[in-house]
Amino acid sequence: MEQIKWLLSNLKHYWPLVGLVIFGSILEGLGTSFMTYLVKRIMDDVFILKEASKLYTILYLFAGAAVVIQIGFFLRNFLMNMVSEKLLMHFREKMFEALLYSKVDFFINHPSGDIISRFNNDINAVKNILIDYMLSLIKEPITVLLLLGVLIYRDIYLTIIIIFAFPIISYSVKYFGGKKAKYVKLNQERFGIINQHVTQLISGIENIKIFGAEENFLKRFREANKNLFKAGMKTIFYTVTNSIFNQSTGYIVFGLVLLYGGYRIVHGYTTAGNFISYITALLLIQMPIMETQKGFMNMRSSIPLVKRVQEMLTLTKEKDGFIDIDSLLVPINMKNVYVVVDSKEILKDINLVINPGDKIGIVGPTGAGKSTLLDILPKLVSYKGDVYVKDTPLENITNKSVRSKIALASQHVFIFNDTARNNLLIANPNASDELILKALKLAKAEFLLKLKNGLDTILGEYGYTVSGGERQRIAIARIFLTNPDILLLDEITSALDVHTEQEVISNIFEVFKDKTILIVAHRLSNITACNRILYIEDGRILEEGTFEELIKKQGNFYALYKKSR
Q: Is 354 helix (H, G, I), strand (E, B) or coil?
A: strand
- Residue 486's closest CA among 549, 402, 557? 402
Whether residue 339 sits in one domain with residue 308 = no
Return the pLDDT at 206.
Answer: 57
**Are 307 and 350 in a shared domain?**
no
Alpha helices per DSSP H over 1-122: 2-9, 15-41, 53-100, 104-109, 112-117
Domain check: are 276 and 349 in the same one? no
Using the 3D structure, point to which of 281, 313, 345 is the last residue of a domain: 313
* Domain housing 252: 2-313
Residue 514 lies in a domain: yes
Point out which residues pair with 545 in neighbouring strands. Answer: 533
Burial string for 2-27 (b: 16+ CB within 10 Å, else e) reads ebbeebeeebeebeebbebbbebbbb
Residue 318 lies in a domain: no
Domains in the chain, number: 2
Distance CA 78, CA 294 (A): 22
Tell me how far the alpha carbon of residue 92 is from its chain's centroid. 8
Does 160 share its domain with 251? yes
Task: Please give the chain's pLDDT, 565 residues, in tens.
Answer: 677 778 878 888 888 888 898 898 889 888 887 877 777 667 666 666 666 667 778 788 888 888 998 998 898 888 888 888 888 888 888 888 888 888 877 777 777 777 887 777 788 777 777 777 776 777 777 777 777 777 777 777 677 766 766 677 666 766 776 777 777 777 777 877 887 777 777 666 656 765 577 787 788 888 888 888 888 888 788 778 877 776 677 677 777 767 766 777 676 766 666 767 767 776 777 677 777 766 776 777 677 778 888 888 888 888 889 999 999 999 999 999 999 987 889 999 999 999 999 999 999 998 899 999 999 999 988 899 999 999 999 999 999 899 999 998 887 888 888 899 998 998 898 999 999 999 999 999 999 999 889 999 998 877 778 888 889 999 999 999 999 999 999 988 888 888 888 899 999 999 999 999 999 988 888 888 899 999 999 999 999 999 999 999 999 998 888 887 6
Question: Are 301 and 337 found together in one domain?
Answer: no
For residue 226, the number of C-alpha atoms closer than 13 Å in the C-beta half-sphere is 6
* pLDDT digit string, tens, across residues 214-242: 787 788 888 888 888 888 888 788 778 87
Query: So what's the pLDDT on residue 29?
Result: 81
Look at residue 324 and tell me if it is in a domain: no
Q: Phi and psi for 317 in degrees, rounded to 5?
A: -75, 150
Q: Rounded to an integer, what distance in angstroms lies between the CA atom of residue 7 and that of residue 337?
A: 42
Residue 441 and residue 486 in one domain = yes
DSSP letter at 451 equals S
DSSP letter assigned to residue 513 = T
Q: What is the DSSP string of 538-562?
A: TTEEEEEE-HHHHHHHTSHHHHHHH
Residues 230 and 356 in one domain: no
CB 375 within 8 A of CB 399: no
CB-CB contact of 474 with 448 (8 Å): yes
Residue 320 is assigned to a structural domain of this protein? no
Domain membership of residue 532 (yes or no) is yes
Residue where one domain finishes, among candidates 313, 345, 373? 313
Q: How far apart are CA 399 and CA 319, in angstroms?
A: 8
CATH of the domain at 302: 1.20.1560.10
Contact predicate 188/305, CB 8 Å: yes
Does a structural domain hold residue 326?
no
Q: Give the span between the Cα atoms of 470 and 444, in whole angstroms.
A: 9
* 370 and 242 share one domain: no
Residue 343 lies in a domain: yes
Q: β-strands 486-490, 332-341: how paired?
A: unpaired
Give pLDDT, residue 542: 95
Mean pLDDT for the chain overall: 83
Query: CA angle at residue 476 from 475 to 477, to 5 degrees?
Result: 90
DSSP structural state of residue 518: E
Asked whether residue 45 is assigned to any structural domain, the reply reads yes
How many Cβ atoms are within 10 Å of 30's Cβ, its own excluded?
Answer: 17
- pLDDT for 276 equals 73
Residues 418 and 540 in one domain: yes
Same domain, 481 and 381: yes
End of a domain among 283, 313, 343?
313
Q: Are residues 338 and 308 in the same domain?
A: no
Q: What are phi and psi of 360, to 5 degrees?
A: -115, 120
The domain that holds 490 is classified in CATH as: 3.40.50.300
Pairing of strands 486-490, 516-520: parallel
Report pTM. 0.68
Same domain (yes/no): 135, 269: yes
300 vs 298: CA distance, rounded Å: 5
Whole-angstrom distance, CA of residue 187 vs CA of residue 181: 10
Model pLDDT, residue 203:
65
